[in-house]
Amino acid sequence: MTTATATGTTTPTRSRPATVALWTLQILLGLMFVVGSGAPKLFGDAYAVQIFADLGTGQWLRYVVGVLEIAGGIGLLVPRLAGLAASCLIALMVGATGAQLFFLSEGFWYTPVILGVLLGIVAWVRRAEIVPR
């Protein structure tokens, strides 16, 4: 179901439990990307430094990925940006999965896959709220 507003855009209506579940997922993912993933990359956590050293790309990529993860995590908390942020983070998780599978010796490829699926849920549910320009 959708409701029309005065500007002619439509916003979906959800049941209260669905809204609470969506926001809970977005907040948890946002915290994970800001605190658990992006910040350690920016602050030079030894594990993050080692991963990017193993990739052979240089530490500049660690900073880029850290900034993108923090921006995406914050974007998940803004209703108008949540769908777009989730979509962009999915692309980042595809890259992370590829890096884990093909360039790193550790077998943690399933972590970005799981995060990508959860982000896909957010992107799908929030797709109508992405503002077309």
Tell me the backbone φ, ψ of residue 3, rounded to 5 degrees: -125, 140
Q: Does the residue 108 lie in any domain?
A: yes
- What's the domain range around 35? 15-128
85 within domain boundaries: yes
pLDDT of residue 91: 97
Q: What is the pTM of this model?
A: 0.85
Q: Are 11 and 129 in contact (CB under 8 A)?
A: yes
Provide the residue-wise pLDDT of the chain in tens; the chain has 133 residues: 455 544 555 566 889 999 999 999 999 999 999 999 999 999 999 999 999 998 888 899 999 999 999 999 999 999 889 999 999 999 999 999 999 998 887 778 899 999 999 999 999 999 888 766 6
Asked whether residue 79 is assigned to any structural domain, the reply reads: yes
Give domain status of residue 4, yes or no: no
For 55-70, give the DSSP string. HTS-THHHHHHHHHHH
Domain tally for the chain?
1
Report if residue 64 sits inside a domain.
Answer: yes
Does a structural domain hold residue 6? no
